[in-house]
């Protein structure tokens, strides 16, 4: 069983990590904006989107989602770099059935 002093210490340590992940969230948000702009420009000039851009964008969105879950105490699991970099949609999103697709069809992608 955890003592009060251990709990107090762990909550303050979590605060430090929350501040660091809040900074990481802002950096990731900017990177996501850059990726979106690049995808838009490629689509505007070539009619297609970059497959690597959509994959990286999904992984980055999942990373942002993991940060939000940690910051809001929904999860105690710390995101990357304390866990592997996300690969695809969040695990709980994969379990939900999807009826709409927002992404481009595979034929609209360019490698």
Domain ranges of the chain: 20-91
| Token output for 88 | 């695809």
- Residue 7: its pLDDT value, please? 72
Residues 24 and 78: their CA atoms lie apart, in Å, by 12
User: 3-class SS at 50?
Assistant: strand
- Residue 92: its pLDDT value, please? 76
Spans of the chain, pLDDT less than 70: 1-2, 6, 93-111
- Residue 48: its pLDDT value, please? 94
- Residue 100: its pLDDT value, please? 47
Cβ(78)–Cβ(21) under 8 Å? yes
- Is the bond preceding residue 81 a cis peptide, omega within 30 degrees? yes
Angle at 68 between CA 3 and CA 18, to 5 degrees: 45
- Residue 8: its pLDDT value, please? 73
- Residue 41: its pLDDT value, please? 97
CB atoms within 10 A of CB 25: 17
Contacts of 37 by beta carbon, 8 Å cutoff, 6+ apart: none
Cβ(9)–Cβ(48) under 8 Å? no
Token look-up 């379990």 returns: 95
């Amino acid at each position: 069983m955890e003592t009060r002093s251990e709990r107090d210490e762990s909550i303050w340590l979590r605060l430090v990590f929350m501040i660091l992940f809040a900074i990481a969230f802002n950096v990731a948000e900017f990177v996501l904006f850059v990726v979106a702009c690049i995808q838009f420009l490629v689509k505007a000039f070539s009619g297609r989107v970059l497959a690597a851009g959509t994959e990286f964008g999904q992984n980055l969105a999942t990373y942002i989602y993991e940060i939000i879950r940690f910051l809001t105490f929904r999860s105690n699991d710390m995101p990357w770099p304390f866990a592997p970099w996300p690969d695809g949609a969040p695990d709980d999103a994969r379990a939900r059935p999807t009826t709409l697709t927002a992404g481009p069809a595979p034929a609209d992608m360019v490698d």
